[in-house]
Structure 1
Amino acid sequence: MSRALPLAAVQAMPLTGPQPEARFAEDVQRVARSFPQSQLIVYPELHLHGDAATAGEYRALAEPLSGPRVRALAELAGDLGVWLIPGTVCELGEGNEVFDTAVVLSPEGQLAASYRKVFPWRPYEPFDAGDRFVVFDLPGVGRAGLNVCYDAWFPEVTRHLAWMGAEVVFNVVKTTTCDRPQEVVLARANAIVNQVFVVSINAAGPVGTGQSVIVDPEGLVRVHSADGATVLTDVVDLDHVSRVRRYGTVGLTRPWSQFVPGDPPLALPLYGGQIDPGRWAPGDGDSGPKDGGRSGDPSQS
């Protein structure tokens, strides 16, 4: 039996003006009526936060995940009986931080998962960085992972999600710049090297640059939009992931089967067992690690 996930990925402009949550609810209801087979609906990054641009504007919009915004989104998902990823929201953290946080609301009207963007696009984005990777289960279908926009430029993120069991990765994006073609390449590359589906949904023009994609575990683009507002629909079958990992990409390459019992462990000196901001740059004499990055004890950093 296939593990099919019918979905609708909504490439739309960020909402501006008053009562964005009410207008968002109307749009989600429209999408659910138009594509009633969809079990999951996903929107771009910061979709609910319009044209906010400064740290102060984002802070003014930030709420804890226990606040009214997420409660309303959960109620909406429950009323429609769908999985809902409304892009990201400005989350006010326990220590007064402001995070760019992807949330997942379940068909039962519950907050099923939340992920704080680990790699804000610095120096342009004023958000605090998250500190963990997040996957969530879609009962009867499989496991999904979350990343946000610039996270896709760091291969560690998607690799870790795949290692945690993700078979489809939802990459919600608000790219307004000329590098969206490179991000499409990254979506394909992350899908290929991890043998996962990647759903990368960007904001629509003229604010965003569109070009949303749904990529299969062999790197083939199933759907690719232009830059205008549209809804990408597809049915991703997570059994495709199992099949590709068993038989190989195009029947050949099986990276998850690379290491076998008896192979020597492989040290990762770049990280010393973790990504430590003080050890991120390659060793280059005065500014890099004095031992060339070989010390593996993070307590000595």
Structure 2
Amino acid sequence: MRVLSVAAIQTKSVPYDVEATWQRFARQAECAKNLGPEVDVIVAPELLLSAPGEFLQPDPDADTRSAAPIPSDLTTRITGLARRLGVWLVPGSLLEEDNGRTYNTAIAVSPEGEIVARYRKVFPWRPFETTTPGDSFITFDIPGKGRVGLAICFDGSFPEVSRQLAWLGAEVIIQPTLTTTRDREMEVVMSRANAFVNQVFVVNVNGADPSGVGESVIVDPEGTIMQRARGGEEILYGVLDLDRVTQAREYGTFGINKPWSQLKDQRGILSYPMYGGATFQPPEWS
């Protein structure tokens, strides 16, 4: 089995205090590793380390409080933590400054302390989120395990994101999220749908109350919720058998549905007007 063990920490920041938030998260990550010594990947909610303010309270410094280039002093701390704990680390997302623009950016750090992937959120939550959209899709490989794709929060509402990540070979989509509103239930629906139609695992970790409404989920390649949090702080430990992705794609979801095979078999028959008349190009792994 190609087993990937994930600890999704549903937590909250210390509002407005970047240093206190970092110290708190570092302790939580250490506790998560101590509780699950076999954990491969630790994941945190979107923008956690930016110390967002309290819900429905003015926060004029939200986009500048922690914004910095990558690498930065903060990423040096993150890479050091990953190296010390011996884990892959996706610490939510960061506010990245680059050429006068600010991006909502997720990074993936290896156990050796190397930033192996940097993903800029393609679909900021308009009009509320003012960061600049990213322009590319990112995956990275965990040697001996499999391929992981990165998405952030509102990206999950656009099926094109998960479909492109799966097309690039992702078997797991890690999706840090910070949702404070009651449409969280529909985000869970989309996590299940994205997992089902692409035959991937989805790890969608939201902020805890009161920063977010919680309800983080880990979904399997058949769209079934493996674990679901409540509203408060907790850790979801997910043991993901990535061979189940191979199985679902070869034998069909629930032993029936083979969407990738059918797309491959029917390529060239149908063009997609919304994509300029493009036709489907099967992925290399299909």
- Whether TM exceeds 0.5 here: the answer is yes
Residue 43 of structure 1 is matched in structure 2 by 44
What is the DSSP-based 3-state SS (H/G/I as helix, E as strand, rest coil) of the residue aligned with 2:250?
Answer: helix
1:223-263 residue CA offsets vs partner (Å, 9 max, x unmatched) = 01111110000100100000010000111110010145685
* TM-score under structure 2 length normalisation: 0.91
Deviation at 1:60, TM superposition (A): 3.7
Q: Which of residues 195, 204, 210 in structure 1 aligns to 2:208?
A: 204
Question: What is the percent sequence identity of the aligned residues?
Answer: 45
1:26-76 residue CA offsets vs partner (Å, 9 max, x unmatched) = 221121112211111000000111224757431242111111111110111
Residue 130 of structure 2 is matched in structure 1 by 126
1:30 paired with 2:31, answer yes
Change over 3 Å in CA distance of 1:263–1:116 after alignment to 2? closer
What is the DSSP-based 3-state SS (H/G/I as helix, E as strand, rest coil) of the residue aligned with 1:115?
Answer: strand
What is the DSSP-based 3-state SS (H/G/I as helix, E as strand, rest coil) of the residue aligned with 2:274?
Answer: coil
1:109-161 residue CA offsets vs partner (Å, 9 max, x unmatched) = 11111100000000001111000000000100000000000000000000000
For residues 116-195 of structure 1, the aligned pairs below 5 Å read 116-195=120-199
CA distance in 2 between counterparts of 1:205 and 1:23 reads 16
Question: Given that residues 197 and 215 in structure 1 are in contact (C-alpha distance below 8 angstroms), is that contact kept between their aligned partners in structure 2?
Answer: yes
Residue 289 of structure 1 is matched in structure 2 by none
Question: Given that residues 210 and 227 in structure 1 are in contact (C-alpha distance below 8 angstroms), is that contact kept between their aligned partners in structure 2?
Answer: yes
1:85 paired with 2:85, answer no
Q: Which of residues 229, 236, 249 in structure 2 aligns to 1:232?
A: 236
Question: Given that residues 151 and 176 in structure 2 are in contact (C-alpha distance below 8 angstroms), is that contact kept between their aligned partners in structure 1?
Answer: yes
For residues 219-258 of structure 1, the aligned pairs below 5 Å read 219-258=223-262
Where has structure 1 moved over 4 Å in runs of 4 or more?
A: 52-56, 260-263
Question: Given that residues 209 and 227 in structure 1 are in contact (C-alpha distance below 8 angstroms), is that contact kept between their aligned partners in structure 2?
Answer: yes
What is the DSSP-based 3-state SS (H/G/I as helix, E as strand, rest coil) of the residue aligned with 1:206?
Answer: coil
CA distance in 2 between counterparts of 1:260 and 1:154 reads 22
Residue 280 of structure 1 is matched in structure 2 by none
Gaps of 5+ in 1: 275-301
Amino acid at match of 1:225: A
- Count of matched residue pairs: 272
Residue 67 of structure 2 is matched in structure 1 by 62
Amino acid at match of 1:92: E
Residue 283 of structure 2 is matched in structure 1 by none
1:94-121 residue CA offsets vs partner (Å, 9 max, x unmatched) = x211000011111001111110000000
Question: Given that residues 55 and 127 in structure 1 are in contact (C-alpha distance below 8 angstroms), is that contact kept between their aligned partners in structure 2?
Answer: no
Larger radius of gyration: 1
Deviation at 1:21, TM superposition (A): 2.3
CA distance in 2 between counterparts of 1:73 and 1:201 reads 18
CA distance in 1 between counterparts of 2:108 and 2:35 reads 21
Change over 3 Å in CA distance of 1:261–1:170 after alignment to 2? closer
For residues 105-116 of structure 1, the aligned pairs below 5 Å read 105-116=109-120
Question: Given that residues 55 and 126 in structure 1 are in contact (C-alpha distance below 8 angstroms), is that contact kept between their aligned partners in structure 2?
Answer: no
When structure 1 is superposed on structure 2, of 56-65 and 8-17 the one drifting more is: 56-65
Question: Given that residues 149 and 170 in structure 2 are in contact (C-alpha distance below 8 angstroms), is that contact kept between their aligned partners in structure 1?
Answer: yes
Change over 3 Å in CA distance of 1:269–1:49 after alignment to 2? same
Question: Given that residues 205 and 228 in structure 1 are in contact (C-alpha distance below 8 angstroms), is that contact kept between their aligned partners in structure 2?
Answer: yes
RMSD of Structure 2 on Structure 1 (CA) = 1.6
Question: Given that residues 11 and 44 in structure 1 are in contact (C-alpha distance below 8 angstroms), is that contact kept between their aligned partners in structure 2?
Answer: yes
Deviation at 1:14, TM superposition (A): 2.3
Residue 103 of structure 1 is matched in structure 2 by 107
